[in-house]
Amino acid sequence: MASEIEQLHFLLIPLMSQSHIIPLTDFAKLIARRGIVVSLITTPLNAARYRSIIDDAMEENLNIQMISMNFPCQEAGLPEGCENMDTLTSPELVNKFFLACELLQTPLEKLIGELEPKPDCMISSNALPWTQEVAHKFKIPRYIFETISCFTLLCSHKISKILQDSALVSNSESFLVSGIPHKIEFTKSQLPETIREASDNHKGLVDKILQAKGSAQGSLVNSFQDLEPWYVEEYKKLVMKNLWCIGPVSLSNKKASIDEHPCIMWLDSMKPRSVIYVCFGSLCRISFEQLKEIGLGLEASSFPFIWIIRGQDSSVEIEKWLAEDEFEERVKGRGLVIRGWAPQVLILSHPSIGGFLTHCGWNSTLEGVCAGVPMITWPMFAEQFYNEKFIVHVLRIGVRIGVEQSGGFVEGDQVKRAIELLMDKGEGEGNERRMRALKLGEMAKESIEEGGSSYLNISMLIQDVIQVNSNN
């Protein structure tokens, strides 16, 4: 058995977006620790950006190699250097970005033809349906890597049917997702654009994804069985029999490589569970007016906070306001503003963090769960409204900021109220929420350890790959 595993070669192909590259690279570490050879497809700029993750894996003597392929920006009509979704300057470029991804098919086929040893399986993002054709051509099984929860997968499946049967659902009218154990309601305007808008562009991609899903050998979900047991089993029953929850993959990062970051020293000086961490992921674009309201709400709340202002949001306007209004001076000692990147997993797992104000991206949601931290939910686009409903109504570890649709504006007062509600130290609901969050954090860690559900699911995946290849 051990020798069979050591001869296995897994080929991993992420969508070139932070929310796909990071979890798939974390997963690469989990399977490489089993003795498997892993090749991860990337592009030159992404290779440079995520090099340190692979370097850490090399230090652990893991057999992971990054294979860089040129990204066809020019051929797809993209500006040079647009190799990651977070570098796209306008929504109009998204379709061109997916076209560029499709143009990787021929060079990828050439590469696989030359790879030694030949890959035994391919694991690729669900958003790259054309990789199913490649896998078929080389007679290797393809597994879909899902960067969303089983709750979202199942709700999406049910909602697609609701919208097909009732084209009359208006944008603001709420409807119930039937046949699930929790009372979950949506309005059409809260759904991802791919489901909401029946445009040819979206429909074409969605149809291809569904078709490729039907031909795939199985699905891997970055979640864990005890987080959403009913939704895992129901989705397996209705849609994908071969499904394994293999997460939370962020827990593959054993080494705290950046504890010299200044914010960690600042957190060390704070009381346990007293600080709010505020971060909105890599793809959210937030206006100056909205950022200003966030700042004023954080200041008014009187709780200590770390506020991350991402590179694309750090505009001349916001810098001018921060300076002229002397915001950082006013909150000195209580508030820390960080521009650009910050070590999120490390910050969330610090004992001083008491709450997380998040855009509800799935990676951030899981990182909050792993850290045992309750959340304030502020969904902005994609499947983030699903994640909000999961956090608030299913897990019951969150407080809504109160947006009802993508792009909803939030006043500083709403920010202040949500923080006060989440950080409530009373014996009632706030305390129960904190206890539930801590329990989930423990369950997450157990799932990935030897003998845990996700650990065993990875073993089952490896067995499946061996089985399929021996049948072939």
Angstrom distance (rounded) from CA 233 to CA 240:
10
Of the two residues 341 and 98, the one the predictor is more confident about is 98
Within a 13 Å sphere around the CA of 413, how many CA atoms are in the beta-carbon half?
0
Read off the pLDDT of each residue in 100-123 and give the average, rounded to a whole number.
96
Which stretches of 379-462 are assigned E, i.e. beta strand? Answer: 398-400
Banded pLDDT at 369 (limits 50, 70, 90):
very high
Question: Residue 165 pLDDT > 90, yes or no?
Answer: no
Considering the chain, what is the average pLDDT of its residues? 92
Angstrom distance (rounded) from CA 120 to CA 128:
19
User: What element of type H or E holds 78?
Assistant: none
The pLDDT of residue 2 is: 62
Read off the pLDDT of each residue in 116-128 and give the average, rounded to a whole number.
96
| Dihedral (CA of 272, 275, 276, 279) sign | negative
Count Cβ atoms below 10 Å from residue 445 Cβ, excluding itself.
15
Task: Give the predicted TM-score (pTM) of the model.
Answer: 0.94
- By mean pLDDT, which of 65-79, 121-135, 275-289, 382-396 is the weakest? 275-289
Question: Residue 362 pLDDT > 90, yes or no?
Answer: yes
**Per-residue pLDDT tens for 65-105?**
999 999 999 999 999 999 999 888 888 899 999 999 999 99
Contact call for residues 283 and 365 (beta carbons, < 8 A): no
The pLDDT of residue 3 is: 65
Q: What are phi and psi of 209, to 5 degrees?
A: -65, -45
Contact call for residues 150 and 245 (beta carbons, < 8 A): yes
- By mean pLDDT, which of 190-194, 276-280, 439-443, 459-463 is the weakest? 190-194
Give strand pairing partners of 143.
123, 218
Angstrom distance (rounded) from CA 208 to CA 425:
49
Q: Which residue in this structure is represented by tokens 């654009």? A: 193
The pLDDT of residue 67 is: 96
Give strand pairing partners of 64.
38
For residue 389, what are its two tokens?
A: 């409903």
The pLDDT of residue 309 is: 92
Domains of the chain with bracketed CATH: 2-253+446-471 (3.40.50.2000), 262-444 (3.40.50.2000)
Determine whether 110 is exposed, middle or buried from the number of CB atoms within 10 Å of its CB (0-12, 13-18, 19+).
exposed
DSSP one-letter string for 363-406: HHHHHHHHTT--EEE---STTHHHHHHIIIIIS--EEE----ST
Nearest to 338 by CA among 330, 328, 348, 346: 328
Of the two residues 256 and 260, the one the predictor is more confident about is 260
How far CA 72 is from CA of 42, 65, 98, 143, 305, in Å, comes to 12, 22, 11, 25, 42
Question: Residue 198 pLDDT > 60, yes or no?
Answer: no
**Per-residue pLDDT tens for 431-462?**
999 999 999 999 999 999 999 999 999 999 99
- By mean pLDDT, which of 163-167, 196-200, 323-327, 374-378 is the weakest? 196-200
The pLDDT of residue 316 is: 84
Q: Hey, what amino acid is at 405?
A: Q
Question: Residue 200 pLDDT > 80, yes or no?
Answer: no
What proportions of the chain, in percent to the nearest 5, are helix, strand and coil?
50, 15, 35
Q: Which residue in this structure is represented by tokens 């046949």? A: 179
The number of helices, as runs of H, and strands, as runs of E, in the chain is: 22, 15
Angstrom distance (rounded) from CA 379 to CA 405:
8
Read off the pLDDT of each residue in 213-235 and give the average, rounded to a whole number.
97
